[in-house]
Structures are given as C-alpha cells and as structure tokens.
Structure 1
Amino acid sequence: MSQVLDTPPAPAPFPPRGTDAEDPAVLAARYGLTVSGARPSLPAYVRRLWQRRHFITAFATAKLTSQYSQAKLGQVWQVATPLLNAAVYFFIFGVLMGTSRGVPDYIPFLVTGVFVWTFTQSSVMAGTKAISGSLGLVRALHFPRASLPVSYCLQQLQQLLFSMCALVVILLCFGVPPTASWLLVVPALLLQFVFNTGVAMIMARLGAHTPDIAQLMPFLLRTWMYVSGVMWSLTHLTEGKGFPPIVITLLQTNPAAVYIDLMRFALIDSFTADQLPAHVWAWAVGWALLAGVGGFIYFWKAEETYGRG
C-alpha cells in the first residue's frame, strides 16, 4: 500500500521593492486607514475637547469625591486642609515673625491668600502628573489628552469653591461686611482658572517626558509662594527697604500675587486700591491669555507623543 504525498505549492513571489503593493502610504490611502493617535489640527482639537466637556466635568467631580473617601472626616478635609495651613502660617509669620503688624484684618488677609495660592499650587502639581500618572487611561482610550489637565484644574476649582464658603464665614466673623465688590470674585477666579490651566498643560507635557520634574516642583512652588505675598503684604515688605523699582514691579506683577491681590481687593474692604499694582486687571487678563493660549498650544503640539514609549 503506497501513500501519495502532495507537493506543497510554491510560495508566491514577493513583490519587487518600490511597487505600490509594499508602500504603506498607498495601502493606507487605498483602504482609508489613518495614523492612530495622530495630532489633529488645532481647530479640530478644540472641537473634540469641547465634545468631551461632560467627561471632563464628571472626571473632575469623581476625583474630588474620591480624594478623601478613605478618611474618617471625608470631604471635611477639603476645607480643613487650607484652614490648618493658614493657622500654621499665622502662628509662624503673624505671631513669631510679626508680619501681621501694619496689616488690617490680617486673618482674613492671610486666609484669602492661602486659599487662592492653594488653588494655583494644587493645579500646577496635579497638572505635572496629569499624563504620567494616568498612563493606563491614556494608552487604553483615544481622547484629547488635554482633557486630563483641564479636569484636574476643574477639580481644584471645585475644591476652592468649598473653601470659599469657609472664607465667607471667616470674613463675617472678623467684621468684614459683604459689599458689591464681592462680585469681582467671579472674573478674578475665572482668569485665575485659565492661567492655572495653561500652566498645568505646560507642566503636563514636561512631566510626561521628564517624570523627575514632579520631584522638583514642590521646591519651586514653595519659592514662588514666598515671593507672592501669601503671608505678608508686599507693599509693606518693600516700602522703604531700598529695593530697585524693577524688583518691586516683578514682585507685584507676578501672576500669583496679581490674583491674590485681586481677591483681597474684592473681599476685604481694608485692602484698598492703592495697594494694588498699576493696571492690575490688565496684568490679570494678560497672564491668563499668555498662559492659557500658550500652554494649550504647547500641549497640543506633543499630542501624539503622550503615552508612547
């Protein structure tokens, strides 16, 4: 009994190099394929980000809710944390170092500065880890990566609004009456939110490619806090000390100081207009546009690199 073995067919010859059959661009065009994760145009990117607005809001709210879910006091820490920071700063700077001398309504002055500064500090820190800390989400789903730093900044804005309720109580307890100027809080916070988001996007791109930046940021932010007048009045600090005019201008017009001063001017009647730098609203709008627009474009230019490697 014999067994017949079939001869396997000869393999098809490879197409010669340079033909359309092996050209990826031609094949992609023929079958309507596009590059996965390719960066869209800037207008298209803005439209896609707007389409994800519900995701951004829900993500920010969920992060805020879960932030203190393991703590016994839960969401009370949203208000207690900045209040405890203000109490520590009051003891060290207001009592021991005497920076409260000559500053009317020092406790409302200090608490306002701490709350507003915490908003910027937390937004920048969260933005630094927005991409590097969410690599699983970035690699699993396709969405505009700017959604992450925007949602983290929105989370910090929501937390600030909780803290503002405590701030209003403090202002009333220390005899600061509500006035029409309190309405200025709304444009001041919106401008600060745009500024914070822009800086967070810059830091998100840097942190995505250089994770060590997250370790450096606390030192840079602490230095920024000290030169922004959180615990003391920059006007009293520089008055009669012989500082060059350029140094005084740089201190008073740095963005954190601008937004802190605007909030103090809006909420505290003893913080008068003569303590504000010249053209303070122009500075606030300028910083918001520079950081917001510039940071958004800077982040968008590296869209297709996030989560790679």
Structure 2
Amino acid sequence: MSDTTHDGALVTSTPPSADAGLSPAQLATKYGLSVSGARPGLAEYVRQIWGRRHFIMAFSRAKLMAQYSQAKLGQVWQVATPLLNAAVYWLIFGVILGAGKEMPSGTYVPFLMMGIFVFTFTQSSLMAGVRSISGNLGLVRALHFPRATLPISFSLQQLQQLMYSMIVVFIIAVSFGNYPKLSWLLVIPTLALQFVFNTGLAMIFARMGAKTPDLAQLMPFITRTWMYASGVMFPIAAYLKDKPQWISDVLLWNPAAIYMDLVRFALIDDYGSQNLPPHVWAFAVGWAVVIGLGGFIYFWKAEERYGRG
C-alpha cells in the first residue's frame, strides 16, 4: 500500500496489524503461550505425580540405602537407633520413675517399644519433610517435576524403615506373651492412616521450610515436646487422672497418641479399649484426611515458588 506526499514523493505504508493494541497477556493467550513453571491445576498436578510414581519409589529406596551407607553396621542402625532410645527411656521412666507401675505385669516394655517406633515414624517424616525442598535446591532448580514428589518420597522412605522396625515390634510383643490374633491386622489400616497424616504434615512443613530454612533447627525441640505430650513413655489417662478431664482428652486425641494407642491396642492383649479415647477410629481417619488433603493443597498452592529467590 502506498501514498503520495504533498511534494510528489512516493511513501510506502504498512497496514495496521491485527495484533496492534493487544496487551502482552492477551498476545500470550492468543498464541498459546504460558508462564514458565506456572502451577498446574490440582487435578493435573495429581496426574503428574502419579506419572512419576516410579521415581518416587526409586528415590525413597535410594535415600533409605544411603542413610547409613557410611556406618559399618549399615542398615542395622535403622532398628538399633530406636532400640537404644527405648532402652534409655525404659531405664529412666520404667525403672527409675516407675512409669509402668499401674500397668499389668509384662505390658510396659511392649507399650514403650511400640510408642517409640510409631512416634519415630511421624517424627522422622516431619524432620525429613521440613528439609525436603530446602535441602534439595539443586534438584529443584535443575529439573522440572511436581515438587510434592519430594516430601512424598521422604515419607515413603520412613514407612519403609518402619517396616523393618515392625519385625522387632512383633518379636517383642510375642516375647511378652502377646501372640498373633485377628486384632493384629488392625496395624495395617492404622499405619496406612498414619502414613497419609505424616505425608500431609511433611508437605506443610516442606513449604514452611522452603521459605524459612531455619525452621529445621527448631524442629527437634518441637518434636521432643510433642513426644512427651503424646504418652510415648507413660499412659496418659493413668497419669492425668487427678487433672481436669479436658487436659487428658486433648492429649489423647492428638494424632501421635491416637496412632500409637491403636497399634498398642492391636498388639498388646492387656491394653484394652478402656485405654482409647471415644470415637478413636473417627479421629484417626479425620486426622489423616484433614492433614493429608489439607497439607497437599497447602503445598500445591506454592508450587511455582519453590527453588526461586
């Protein structure tokens, strides 16, 4: 297209583009462009995680094998560490302080061992979760993948480690006269619910730890307080019988205590339903659903911010 100026010169002009006047966002939408690293929708995010399930399994196994690779006893420490902790707590709380004096004979040792192993499952998942992003920034920044695979992998690693520990738990239960029966099968749904709870909790603290790495330094104090408040070393109801009922209820209904007591109820003959809070299974499922689903959504909402800044 051409025009002539007042002095007769020929000037060539270009017709206005169809994109003229469009904002950058409108242009990106028109030509199908998207933000690099943008957060996918929730359903798509779940699909991406499922597509990387083999990576999650392989990563968790590799972390498990590498955990004690520098130690001469290797994977033996997976069981030896909580056993040594149990021996220390038994000496202090069982022998010196008499924490199990109100329990039937032969009940306190399996009670203590199961409490330590089950609580360690939650404690280790939480500790691993808080470092899952901040401790793997090289991987997060180098590769594109759903970041939730990291806290899920670390929680799965702790579940695999617990499976080794449960062999010792079963041996101790039998050693103190608690022989296998149908109630032992309750351990399966209990640990499955605890795993969902642990994973959600790991995701919550993974997001918090990604923003505030110093949070990892506070976690040992938080988990130690939680352990003492959950009845790992002593039966809560017996020790708080002279206190207001609401205090005992709050401690018994905290998730760590619920999952520990359900395992004890399943494996210890003398640990009857009177030791469990009302509606214990409803609380076990509720904690798993609320923290598991809520933690997943909370983590997903910050997906595009992990590894930046």
Same fold at TM > 0.5 = yes
Q: Distance in 2 between matches of 1:21 and 1:186?
A: 62
Query: What amino acid sits opposite 2:189 in the alignment?
Result: P
The residue aligned with 1:45 is: 45
TM-score normalised by L of structure 2: 0.91
Give CA deviations for 1:253-300 in whole Å, capped at 9, x if unaligned.
011000000000011111001110000000000000110011011001
The residue aligned with 2:245 is: 245
Query: What amino acid sits opposite 1:159 in the alignment?
Result: Q
Shift of the alpha carbon at 1:28?
Answer: 3.4
Q: Distance in 2 between matches of 1:132 and 1:62?
A: 19
Q: Distance in 2 between matches of 1:224 and 1:80?
A: 22
Give CA deviations for 1:93-146 in whole Å, capped at 9, x if unaligned.
111111021223111110000000000000001000010001000001111100
Shift of the alpha carbon at 1:30?
Answer: 5.5
- Please state whether the residue corresponding to 1:308 is helix, strand or coil: coil
Q: Distance in 1 between matches of 2:234 and 2:124?
A: 21
How do 1:275-286 and structure 2 match up within 5 A? Answer: 275-286=275-286
For structure 1, the residue ranges without an aligned partner over 5 or more in a row are 1-18
Q: Distance in 2 between matches of 1:271 and 1:228?
A: 16
The residue aligned with 2:183 is: 181
TM-score normalised by L of structure 1: 0.91
The answer to whether the aligner puts 1:204 opposite 2:206 as a matched pair is: yes
Query: What amino acid sits opposite 2:188 in the alignment?
Result: V
Shift of the alpha carbon at 1:22?
Answer: 9.2
Contact in 2 for aligned 1:20/1:27 (Cα 8 Å): no
The residue aligned with 1:195 is: 197
Query: What amino acid sits opposite 1:166 in the alignment?
Result: V
Q: Distance in 2 between matches of 1:123 and 1:185?
A: 18
The residue aligned with 1:139 is: 141
Shift of the alpha carbon at 1:174?
Answer: 1.8
The answer to whether the aligner puts 1:73 opposite 2:73 as a matched pair is: yes
Contact in 2 for aligned 1:117/1:256 (Cα 8 Å): yes
Contact in 2 for aligned 1:111/1:167 (Cα 8 Å): yes
Shift of the alpha carbon at 1:24?
Answer: 3.5
Q: Distance in 2 between matches of 1:148 and 1:237?
A: 40
Give CA deviations for 1:228-276 in whole Å, capped at 9, x if unaligned.
000001121112x1x2221111011011000000000011111001110
Identical amino acids, percent of aligned pairs: 64
Cα RMSD over matched residues? 1.5
The residue aligned with 1:227 is: 229
The answer to whether the aligner puts 1:64 opposite 2:64 as a matched pair is: yes
Give CA deviations for 1:132-168 in whole Å, capped at 9, x if unaligned.
0010000011111000000000000000000001111
Contact in 2 for aligned 1:21/1:27 (Cα 8 Å): no
The answer to whether the aligner puts 1:267 opposite 2:267 as a matched pair is: yes
Query: What amino acid sits opposite 2:50 in the alignment?
Result: W
For structure 2, the residue ranges without an aligned partner over 5 or more in a row are 1-18
Query: What amino acid sits opposite 1:257 in the alignment?
Result: A
Shift of the alpha carbon at 1:33?
Answer: 2.8
The residue aligned with 1:15 is: none
- Please state whether the residue corresponding to 2:231 is helix, strand or coil: coil
